[in-house]
Structure 1
Amino acid sequence: MITLDNLDQKLLDYFRGYVVKKDLVRSVKVGANVPVFVLEYLIANSCSTNDEEKIRKGIENVKNVLSQHYVNPEESALIHSKIRENGSYKIIDKITVRLDSKKDIYWAHLLNSNIKDANISDALVNEHDKMMLGGIWAIIDVAYDPTIKMGSNIYPFVVKEINPIQLSSFDNSKVINNRKNFTKEEWTDVLLRSAGYEPNSEGFTDRIKMLLISRLIPLVESNFNFVEIGPRSTGKSFVFKELTPYAVLISGGQGTVAKLFVNGSTGKVGSVGQWDAICFDEATDKIFKDRDAIPLMKDYMESGSFSRAGAGGEITGSASLIYNGNINQPVETVLQTSHLFSPLSDEVNSDTAFLDRIHFYLPGWEMLKFSPHHFTSNFGFSTDFFSENLKSYRKQNYTDAIDQYFSLGAHLKQRDTKPVKKTVSGLIKLMHPDGIFTKEDVREYLELALEMRRRVKEQLKRIGGMEFWDTNFSYIDKENQEEKFVALPEEKGNNLIESTPLAPGVCYTCTVDGDSMALVRIEVVSTMGSGKLNITGTSNMQVKENIKNTYQYIKANEKSILSEQHSLKNFDLSIQITNMLGASISSGIGSAVYLAILSALYKKNLKAGLAVLGNISVGGAIERAINFADKITMLSENGAKTVIVPMDNLQELSNVPPTVLGNTDVPFYANNKMLMQKAILSE
């Protein structure tokens, strides 16, 4: 008998006949270029047991079926011969169909068998129309009839019967009724093992587990727009290629209007109306073959529908869209030099209207590079049963689950709210198919959803500026009105102050209000304009006045501070003040505002981990920082590598703890020119 762990035993107790030992698939798959869901379709019923003898016989049967009927490409000539000699022969292969409009006939293409022009009836094509939209795996009965001719050419191969490799009927009540027998942690592992992963192997943190499960959201949530960009060998397309017959992979540059949306000649709806998920693989290359596919795609990503001249009005679809691409640099490097959509194809990577329709940006750079030990040898749902469950969940809807416990912060617009709610709904479907979940479950999924949508918005802010300024995403607990802000790991690292060079316009400081301090992030965006100033993030009139005074000082002294081309009259400035930590913000932030404005205008990075103390008066005098030692300590503890301080605080340096000075440099400045010299990152 095979040794089982507790989860294996539970799966056999509650789902016998629907689970399979996953290493069996790998043992059969060696040498067979066949998707996992095809193999598990063949082995699930005979191998859903812990009886070694039954498993052995089941595997032998599957191997026999594969050896007799599965076609390896190098065996195509032999299969042609078997079909001819026997008159007909059953094969396991991927079948696609194309319309030959010149001859008004359909031709079937059997991929591995290398049969490119097989006869197929209109009835079979209409019954299995996904053959025209990327193809399906099936058990196919192919006959041989040498009397079929066109001119002098013989077209002897005839597709007589097609049995798609998926369950013929399905009822998800078994999962719904038995979910209560598993803890949340156990169910997480069930999902991962069903997808082929071993959650107990090295590197599978709770974070990684949730990111892997998030890859399944497009399969359970209709019209879900998903991006994952990360290194190679992290399994980005695995889910959509191997785990379900309801998803299709489209290679780079192959997205045409006819294939995706509607065929202008036949009026037939394309992939968006036929599949649950469409994955654009290698989206760092060209995505669409037709340029006019992009506006149609934007319409579809926004509303799940599109209009096309000659198509007979508005057409709807439910397919989710996945864009996968590779990143070749560390994420820190990309963020210093560009934005996180830059690896995508040039046709979309700066199209803010397109990118704003992305619901979920999974940080692929966090994912594991998979090795053999990351794949499970334990039991999980057979892939056909698993994929049918995922498909059945698309009928459920939990987009209102957030409203029971939480409200969303002021920075989330309608286009942000929808992705967040759809993400939470998808995770509830996956983790709680019985609809039983707690407030803390919703909180966990909400924080993940806010992070993934905020990642989209932060990059849009880098590309498009003020239009996408509101990125300080938060949620409010309805029970106690506590507001929590959700940050991005790559923006902050382990500290609130970035350890990488600060983006142009970003600077940190610290303020004191009574006995409490606040860590403050100042972010300035400059766009061509007519000298307008917009301040957001604070309602404190003293703080606003402090900012305006600094702005007026720069304006009044432009000739000595700015070049003509960088004059304030040529730019609109938007200044956002964010309370990163601590009490309410108070004034005394003029020097940091000064630096942020100038670095935004000149597009210059400030030094890594930089913070600034002090204030610049309307007359240009440098005002000392109060609570000097406490402020230096707070900034240092939150990641500041350099804190530039007024010269008037020099005598107080001895009050700063030696451990703080060991981690943080404290240079001094006496005027605005010294401040710039010590803050700007050297080229």
Structure 2
Amino acid sequence: MAVLNDLDTKLLEHFRGYVVKKDLVLSVKVGANVPVFVLEYLIANSCSTDDDEKIRIGMENVKKVLSEHYVNPEESSLIHSKIREKGRYKIIDKISVELDSKKDIYWAKLQNSNIKNGNISDGLVKQHEKMLMGGIWAIIDVEYDPNIRIGQNIFPFVITQIKPIQLSSFDNSKILNKRKEFTKSEWLDVLLRSCGYEPNAEGVSDRIKMLLLSRLLPMVESNFNFIELGPRSTGKSFVFKELTPYAVLVSGGQGTVAKLFVHGSTGKVGAVGQWDAICFDEATDKIFKDRDAIPLMKDYMESGSFSRAGSGGEITGVASIILNGNINQPVETVLQTSHLFSPLSDEVNSDTAFLDRIHFYLPGWEMIKFSPKHFTSSFGFSTDYFSEVLKSLRRVTYTDALEKYYSLGAHLKQRDTKPVKKTVSGLIKLMHPDGEYTKEDIKEYLEIALEMRRRVKEQLKRIGGMEFWDTNFSYIDKESQEEFFVGLPEEKGSHLIESTPLPPGICYSSTSDGENVALVRIETVAVAGSGKLNITGVNNTAVKENIKNTYQYIKANEKTILSDKHSLKNYDITIQVTNLLGAAISSGIGSAVYIAIVSALYKKNLKAGLAVLGNISVGGAIERVINFADKVTMLSENGAKSVIVPMDNLNELSNVPPTVLGNTDVPFYQNSQMLMQKAILLD
């Protein structure tokens, strides 16, 4: 018996005939030009079983069918002869149909067999209308009748029967009805296996799974603008090349106005009107052949339509645009020297109007490099079925789904809101095609959407400056009114202090033991309780006393600092102190502790990259900072955007290096009230 896991068994139970064991495709060694969905169709019909012997017999049958009936283009004359000699012959080929209006008849064209004028009945054409829209792969019965003549010419080939290999008709009710039989994590694995990936291979984290899934977004969302830049061998264009007949790959430099948009003399609409997705492979080379393709592409990426002189008004399309390319340096190096769009070709890599239209920047540098273990040997949906599922999902939308639970923060402009909503909509379609999702699901997808759009905005800020300054993306829980900020892993990577607004209760500071300074993180959690204080992460008695004194100061001045409902007697406070860098922690962190406690009680975010220096005595006096310049410099070098310092240190500001002051604000305070005003992020 083949070793099947529970998910394989479940798929066979609910989708028998629509699933295929993915490793069988790789084992069929036939001509390289047999499309994957042709192989998978044959395998799904013969081997949709868990019985080893039946799979073996089925595979023999598949190989036999292919060797006898699949037409390689170089064998077309031999096939013509076989049809003539036998009178009737079955072939596997791509068939398309055109109406000859002068003669009022349909002609069939067989791609590999090189039959251009095959006779076909009106009934067969009506039955399989996709033959009129680019054609379908099918198992076709062809007869030979030398008596069919038009004028002096004989047209002997007659199509008598067609069994489509791509689904000729599709009903997505099965996927909607059966989704509930799978858990969320099972369904994610099913989708990834249907793409050929093995989700449980070593190195495939939950985040990698969601990044791999995100490659399908342009297939389920119309007019979705997507970019992935990263190292080679991560399978960037695989989805658009192998997985669906509805996407097209355009090689670098081949994007012409006629091919993409509209043909000048015939007026025929180009690729944007014919495909669901257009993938520019190797977008790090020149993308467009014609200069005037860029303004048309900008129009199209913005609104899904464009107008061109002589084309008779506005033309619309639904194709999503995908840019793929390689980043050859480590991402840290790229960020230090330029920006994450810099690998793109010169025509677009600093065109902020073009780049601002990108909805989703997938961090390709996080992707795994594919090796044999990353390709699944389990069951997944057969490619023809899966591609139809994806296409059918383009007809529904969930762009307003997030509004039931969340609103978007103040930094998101209209051009940011649309990409975020489209991304959430696409992830709902993929993960919950039946429309059954929870608030937690939306939160997960919303954070992905905000990150991927923020990556675009952060790079625009590097290129275009102040026009794009508002990159602190957040969302607000409508029920609790709590605001959550979403950062970028690569921005955080080089700094210990995150550059986004800090969550309530988290603050940074610096202490010194004479010459050496330490970088300190203070984390405060306030839960309903009876007024207990718990200090963790530090054994130094002086530091503990420092924290207790600050706590006592707040307690003694509650009437002026806190409202009745936020009184310390109603909360248990836990304060964790972490030494992130440098010397051992010393005392002198009172002001940072004060801000951490107050923001935790009020559930208020603190300003982006905030650090606080100084100490508050039990009587409320603000104490001067020692080693002032060293502490400000250390905090700035580790990502602090703002370091709030006591007024008594004002005359030492000239000791701080100008490069530090260029990167970090240094506001002053002279009492606890001023400190709160300068630290807490106002709504």
Partner of 1:332: 332
CA contact (8 A) 1:215 1:239 kept: yes
SS of the equivalent of 2:321 reads strand
SS of the equivalent of 2:228 reads strand
Distance of aligned partners of 1:465 and 1:111 in 2 relative to their CA distance in 1, 3 Å threshold = farther
CA contact (8 A) 1:473 1:486 kept: yes
Partner of 1:83: 80
Partner of 2:267: 267
Structure 1, residues 331-376: CA drift from partner, whole Å, max 9, x if none? 1111111111111122211111111111111001100101111111
Report the CA distance between 1:410 and its aligned residue.
0.1
**Structure 1 CA distance, aligned partners of 2:182 and 2:7?**
9
Deviates more, 1:264-273 or 1:356-365: 264-273
Report the CA distance between 1:266 and its aligned residue.
2.4
CA contact (8 A) 2:19 2:381 kept: yes
Distance of aligned partners of 1:268 and 1:55 in 2 relative to their CA distance in 1, 3 Å threshold = same
SS of the equivalent of 1:249 reads strand
Report the CA distance between 1:231 and its aligned residue.
0.9
Deviates more, 1:342-351 or 1:76-85: 76-85
- The residue identity in structure 2 corresponding to 1:448 is I
Report the CA distance between 1:89 and its aligned residue.
6.6
Deviates more, 1:344-353 or 1:81-90: 81-90
Partner of 1:170: 170
- The residue identity in structure 1 corresponding to 2:269 is V
**Structure 2 CA distance, aligned partners of 1:109 and 1:130?**
13
**Structure 2 CA distance, aligned partners of 1:329 and 1:355?**
21
Report the CA distance between 1:455 and its aligned residue.
0.5
Report the CA distance between 1:198 and its aligned residue.
1.1
Distance of aligned partners of 1:403 and 1:159 in 2 relative to their CA distance in 1, 3 Å threshold = farther
**Does residue 31 of structure 2 align to residue 38 of structure 1?**
no
- The residue identity in structure 1 corresponding to 2:357 is R
Report the CA distance between 1:68 and its aligned residue.
2.5
Equivalent residues in 2 for 1:587-666 (5 A)?
Answer: 626=625, 639=638
Equivalent residues in 2 for 1:415-426 (5 A)?
Answer: 415-426=415-426
When the two structures are aligned, how many residues end up with a matched partner? 540
**Structure 2 CA distance, aligned partners of 1:625 and 1:110?**
86
**Structure 2 CA distance, aligned partners of 1:209 and 1:126?**
37
- The residue identity in structure 1 corresponding to 2:272 is V
Partner of 1:478: 478
- The residue identity in structure 1 corresponding to 2:244 is T
Percentage identity across aligned positions? 71
Task: State TM-score, norm by structure 2.
Answer: 0.69
**Structure 2 CA distance, aligned partners of 1:278 and 1:215?**
13
**Structure 2 CA distance, aligned partners of 1:107 and 1:348?**
44
Report the CA distance between 1:278 and its aligned residue.
1.3
**Does residue 202 of structure 2 align to residue 205 of structure 1?**
no
Report the CA distance between 1:78 and its aligned residue.
3.6
Partner of 2:397: 397
**Does residue 434 of structure 2 align to residue 452 of structure 1?**
no
**Structure 2 CA distance, aligned partners of 1:373 and 1:471?**
39
**Does residue 675 of structure 2 align to residue 675 of structure 1?**
no
Q: CA RMSD in A?
A: 4.6
Partner of 1:15: 15
- The residue identity in structure 2 corresponding to 1:170 is F
Partner of 1:488: 488
**Structure 2 CA distance, aligned partners of 1:349 and 1:143?**
56
CA contact (8 A) 2:218 2:321 kept: yes
Distance of aligned partners of 1:121 and 1:357 in 2 relative to their CA distance in 1, 3 Å threshold = farther
Distance of aligned partners of 1:624 and 1:670 in 2 relative to their CA distance in 1, 3 Å threshold = farther
Distance of aligned partners of 1:283 and 1:379 in 2 relative to their CA distance in 1, 3 Å threshold = same
**Structure 2 CA distance, aligned partners of 1:477 and 1:428?**
19
- The residue identity in structure 1 corresponding to 2:251 is S
**Structure 2 CA distance, aligned partners of 1:297 and 1:121?**
41
CA contact (8 A) 1:20 1:47 kept: yes
**Does residue 294 of structure 2 align to residue 294 of structure 1?**
yes
Report the CA distance between 1:494 and its aligned residue.
7.2
CA contact (8 A) 1:644 1:678 kept: no
Structure 1, residues 48-80: CA drift from partner, whole Å, max 9, x if none? 1112232222222221222233355xxx44443
**Structure 2 CA distance, aligned partners of 1:385 and 1:27?**
21
**Structure 2 CA distance, aligned partners of 1:383 and 1:319?**
20
**Structure 2 CA distance, aligned partners of 1:157 and 1:369?**
52
Deviates more, 1:84-93 or 1:58-67: 84-93
Report the CA distance between 1:511 and its aligned residue.
10
Equivalent residues in 2 for 1:177-576 (5 A)?
Answer: 177-493=177-493, 495-497=495-497
Task: State TM-score, norm by structure 1.
Answer: 0.69
Partner of 2:567: none
Structure 1, residues 480-506: CA drift from partner, whole Å, max 9, x if none? 11101000001111754489xxxxxxx
**Structure 1 CA distance, aligned partners of 2:180 and 2:42?**
29
Report the CA distance between 1:645 and its aligned residue.
12
Distance of aligned partners of 1:217 and 1:77 in 2 relative to their CA distance in 1, 3 Å threshold = closer
**Structure 1 CA distance, aligned partners of 2:218 and 2:253?**
22
Instruction: Structure 2: give runs of 5+ residues left out of the alignment.
Output: 99-105, 148-152, 500-506, 512-519, 524-594, 600-608, 615-621, 664-683
Structure 1, residues 215-241: CA drift from partner, whole Å, max 9, x if none? 111111111111111111111111111
Distance of aligned partners of 1:145 and 1:236 in 2 relative to their CA distance in 1, 3 Å threshold = farther
**Structure 1 CA distance, aligned partners of 2:490 and 2:146?**
64
SS of the equivalent of 1:226 reads strand
**Structure 1 CA distance, aligned partners of 2:143 and 2:92?**
14
- The residue identity in structure 2 corresponding to 1:478 is K
